Structure 1
Amino acid sequence: MAYAVVILTMAIFCLVTPIHAQDTASAFDFFGRHCLVDGPNFMRTGTIALARGWIPLSTEILMTLAPMENPEAIEGWLVGERRQRTVVAVTRATVGGKAVEGCTIAMSDIDSVGFERSFFQRTDAEVVQEERGPRHVHKLYSLIFRGRRELVTLIVPAEPAERNYVVGSVIAETQQEN
């Protein structure tokens, strides 16, 4: 599944990505702002997408980015906020009887090693699992961020180059709005 995510995401980037690169801190900040800091939030992300004019993507494309199987709802967009294009997807599902939401961001033309460095500098993530394939590494982390337990997945190239890609996902229990 993770291999299909990387292949499809890279195909999307080949069609839409300009040559310019964004700095690593900015890429991580984007991930943090939309997925990590307040956790995944289906409604909030949809509102932001509408307000900023993000380009909606088809469900078929987005299903490869879903961080959990069989989501009950999925929406996603092609974003031009950074100089290069980024794909943002949000999901809702029930896992083990609990309502969860997921947020995935796929970015190209960034320093994946620097992105991971920023991730560890700003979180207390603990490694849960790591699977190394010939083309990418799938890393699963657990962390508590602002009192909320989150599972974070990072998919990075097995052989990082100066500029490459990151697919980052966050899954957390749905927060009830008061």
Structure 2
Amino acid sequence: MTDALIVGAIFLIIVLITQIGVRPHNLFLAAMPFVTSVVMGYLVLGLGSHRYASGDPGIAAAGVAIGVFFGLCLNRAMTLYRDPHRNGRLYTRGGAVYLAIWLFVLVGRIAFIAALEHSPSFAVSFGRLLDRLDGSPDGVGAFFLLMALAMSVTREIALLSRARRIPRPDGSLAAAQGVSRA
């Protein structure tokens, strides 16, 4: 469960530095969620000793589904526009709602872990649920990791899709000209 806290902290730092406020959307910001997903996935899921149970793929898939949902919410909360004074360069604006979604997810994760570690009755109830699902603590770690990664990747794919439909200052669509160089 410590892995989930570390990943959550890393994601919050990345969000605060790169996505809150007005930011130019460039190749680095577009590629970062994909690179982060590969690196974090490898570090957490690919290294070390894991004891997965037969129910863990379902638990991980639930994390992906929830992450996609919140990624779509993040996309709706982020403003995306082209600046006509800067040759149509793409800009994003993540405001209070955007930050609130991330904080809801990350604080929810921390609260869950704190409840597991400090509330024996919650830990026993959750353990019974894991037994019924034939899940494991490693499966729960995968749930949280994949949820955060799915949020980031879904948000970025949705942003790139929206960007292709935003007219450039000359009136053309980015989709007609290929990938934007913003």
TM range (shorter): under 0.3
**Which one has more relative contact order, counting CA pairs under 8 Å at least 6 apart?**
2
Larger Rg: 2
TM-score normalised by the chain length of structure 1: 0.28
- Higher helix proportion: 2
TM-score normalised by the chain length of structure 2: 0.27
